[in-house]
Amino acid sequence: MLGADAVMVGCPALWGLVHSGAEGVADVLRLLMGEFEEVMALMGAPTVADFERSGVVLPGGAHFSP
């Protein structure tokens, strides 16, 4: 587990709300979900539980280590 349930989802959802109301929020969340699914596929993780810390790269190229 990476330690966060949701990171930086609130701001884009609010932008969608301001721009297009409830449909804007739905559009933003669909976009985020699509991007997350793409990352999962690129990492070879069929489910969120399959993510591994070794796949996390920090700024500067360092890998996450517990």
Residue 2 predicted with pLDDT over 60:
no
Q: What is the pLDDT of residues 41-65, one digit of tens each?
A: 998 999 988 988 777 777 787 766 6
The per-residue DSSP string of 4-52 comes to -S-SS-HHHHHHHHHHHHHHHHHHHHHHHHHHHHHHHHHHT-SSGGG--
Asked if residue 43 lies in contact with residue 55, where contact means CB atoms within 8 angstroms, the answer is: yes
Asked if residue 59 lies in contact with residue 39, where contact means CB atoms within 8 angstroms, the answer is: no
pTM (predicted TM-score): 0.68
Cα(24)–Cα(16) distance, integer angstroms: 4
